[in-house]
Amino acid sequence: MAKTVDEIADAMQAMVAEAQGKKQLKPMDLTKAMVQMYGSEGVDKKMCKQAIATLINSGRCVYTYFGGSYIEMPRKEGAANE
């Protein structure tokens, strides 16, 4: 069964959340992991790129830059109201 872009985005978000604080993930790291995990189900680089765009545009993940571009979970500021 083919995966949808939303399903790929959910899997990527889970991977980013699990790596938070341990390792920074680049967009290509996520793409390679998804193609390896779901490649037999028709997942390709184009779908992964769309899934990353979905995560960033919805605010579920953010880009950070520390000598390279990384995808992370949004950080909560110390003075932010909850």
Q: How many structural domains does the chain have?
A: 1
Q: Is the pLDDT of residue 80 over 80?
A: no
CB atoms within 10 A of CB 41: 11
82 found inside a domain: no
As given in the structure block, the two tokens for residue 63 are: 């880009």
CA 30, 14, 52, 50 dihedral sign is positive
pLDDT band at 42 (very low <50, low <70, confident <90, very high): confident
pLDDT band at 75 (very low <50, low <70, confident <90, very high): confident
Residue type at position 33: A
33 found inside a domain: yes
| pLDDT attached to residue 21 | 87
Tell whether pTM > 0.75.
yes
53: CATH = 1.10.10
61 found inside a domain: yes
Taken as a whole, the chain contains a residue count of 82
Q: Is the pLDDT of residue 67 over 60?
A: yes
Residue type at position 47: M
